[in-house]
Structures are given as C-alpha cells and as structure tokens.
Amino acid sequence: MASGGAERIAALAAPLTHLARRGSLLIATDFDGTLAPVVRDPDRARPLPEARRALEILARHTPVAIISARDLANLAGHCQLTGVLLLGSYGLEPWLQMSTGEPPPAARAPSPELLQLARELSALTAWLDGVQVEVKSLGVAVHYRNSPEPRRVGPIVRRQVEQLSARHRFQVVRGRLVVEARPPRSGNKGTALRLLLDRLQPRGCVYAGDDLGDLPAMRELHSRAGQLELAEAVGVLSSEAHPELLREVDHLLDGPRQWAELLQMVAEAVSDPATAPAGR
C-alpha cells in the first residue's frame, strides 16, 4: 500500500492513462467521501468540481461508473454526470447513464417491510440526540454523524440495528457513522463491480472508495487481478477510515481532493492529442 503525494499520483496516473486511451479502463468509484466530501447534511453533498469535469471527459473515452449506497434517484439528483454509469443501492438498482439535461428518475417506493423496520428503528433511537433514520428504496439507514457523542452512540445504534435486523431477517451493512439494514441476499458493491466487469470486459480497472461498504468491490477487483492488465484499489483516506479498508487498498490518497487530482491528471492526458503515443 502506497500513500498519496504528487509524485505518487503522477506514477499512478501513467498506467491508468495508457488503458484509458485505448478505451479499456473501467474507472469505478464510490460517491460519498470519495467524489464528494462527507458533509453533515447528506442532501448537500456534491462531487468536487474537478472530479465532475474529469469524469465527464473520461466517460467520452473509457467506461466510468459510480457505485453508491444511495438510492439511484438520490444519486442521480446529486451527481448528474453526462455519460457516466450510475449504480444505486450498492449496485442493486438498474444502471443509469444520463445525458445532458435529463431529469433524474423517480424514486422507487420502499416495501412495507422496510417502512415497518424504519418505524421500529425510529422508536428505538428517538432518545439519542442527532441520530437520524433514513428510509431508502432498498434499505433503512441509521445515521449518527450528527450525534454530539458519536463514539458512545455508535455501538448502541449498531446493536439496535443488528438485533432488529436479525428479527426481520435483514442483513446489516456498516459505514462511516452509519448502519444500514437491507433485505437478505441484496448484493453489495462487489456484486455490482462483478457485473460491470463481466459486461464491459475492460482490460483494466481502478476502484476508489473510503468506507467498509467499498471492501467487497475491492476484494472482487483483487480476485480478478490475474485476468486484468491492471487491478488497482484506491483508498480515499479520512480520519474515520477503518483499519480493514487500509489493509485492502493498493494506494492511499489523502481525501477526495487527491482522487479528483488523479482523475483530472488522467483526463487531461487522455484528451490531449499532443501526449498520445505515436501511431495512435
């Protein structure tokens, strides 16, 4: 695992550029904490402008996908990038490739089982200041980022979600100051990346993420390393990074700005004919 720095970013950009020029690099990335800095109000999250511009340029040359825990409609509303594949709900919702000016899709209604789970979790967590229950199309997330004591509250929230999810036979996914209950066998970001790799058949892939929910995608990518020219897992570092994530990544970058810097470097090289190899 190598940490980020200007020289390291340039060295990582070179092999990515080589494959992107050939249209055979899958650039896959998480959204919150990776393209967009984490903010206290998730509705205010937006990709960094540099990352936005770079991804739209790169999508004209090579496949680009964003795999998010957000609902597809929510993700599309916050991240309208022309030509970029959007995969919501850890990739379980249908893929969406938006065009310029296209409105985001309508949100999918949650099931009665999810609504019931959300009501029960809201009742259980009502006494915890700053804890919010979010009902999603395919899950219920309990956020404790805005708690005045997240270190104390976190274990309480996790225990409540795990116990209630076991009763409802839901699976639990942990994230950065959030715990989510999802229907059983609903897949993960590794499942989503597997489908992308199988369908697109790129020669190489880079995946960037910052959280425990990104681990399945990174592990899926590493399981394909023998079949790909390039298989790089990039960790986008934060003070909340889990040790398990740090052990899995090949490269560490210092937050979303360095990931945006890397994307921008590759986009500029790919779109500049003066830097293209002779004969291409």
* Residue 45 or 103, more confident: 45
Question: Band of the pLDDT at 64, cuts 50, 70, 90?
Answer: very high
Question: Band of the pLDDT at 24, cuts 50, 70, 90?
Answer: very high
* pLDDT, mean over the chain: 91
Q: How far apart are CA 192 and CA 220, in angstroms?
A: 10
- Span 214-221, average pLDDT: 97
Helix (H) or strand (E) holding 112: helix 112-125
Residue at 53: amino acid letter: R
- Span 17-21, average pLDDT: 96
Asked whether residue 201 carries a pLDDT value surpassing 90, the answer given is yes
- Span 257-269, average pLDDT: 97
The alpha carbon of 256 is separated from its chain's Cα centroid by a whole number of angstroms, namely 12
User: Can you give the pTM of this predicted structure?
Assistant: 0.90
179 Cβ contact partners less than 8 Å away, ≥ 6 residues apart:
141, 142, 157, 158, 161, 162, 172, 173
Asked whether residue 164 carries a pLDDT value surpassing 60, the answer given is yes
Q: Of 55-69, 116-130, 229-243, where does mean pLDDT reach its minimum?
A: 229-243
Catalytic residues: 30
Identify the structural domains of the chain with CATH numbers, from first to last.
Answer: 6-105+187-275 (3.40.50.1000), 112-182 (3.30.70.1020)
pLDDT in tens, 87-143: 999 888 877 787 666 777 888 899 999 999 999 999 999 999 999 999 999 999 999
Q: Is the dihedral of CA 125, 127, 131, 137 positive or negative?
A: positive
Residue at 81: amino acid letter: L
Q: How far apart are CA 68 and CA 74, in angstroms?
A: 10
* Count of C-beta atoms within a 10 Å radius of residue 222: 16
Q: Is the dihedral of CA 163, 164, 169, 171 positive or negative?
A: negative
pLDDT of residue 280: 40
**Exposure b/e, 7-30, CB count within 10 A at least 16 = b:** ebbeebbebbbbbbbbebbbbbbb
Asked whether residue 188 carries a pLDDT value surpassing 50, the answer given is yes
- Span 162-175, average pLDDT: 93
Q: Of 19-28, 94-103, 184-193, 228-237, where does mean pLDDT reach its minimum?
A: 94-103
Q: Of 1-15, 20-34, 193-207, 244-258, where does mean pLDDT reach its minimum?
A: 1-15
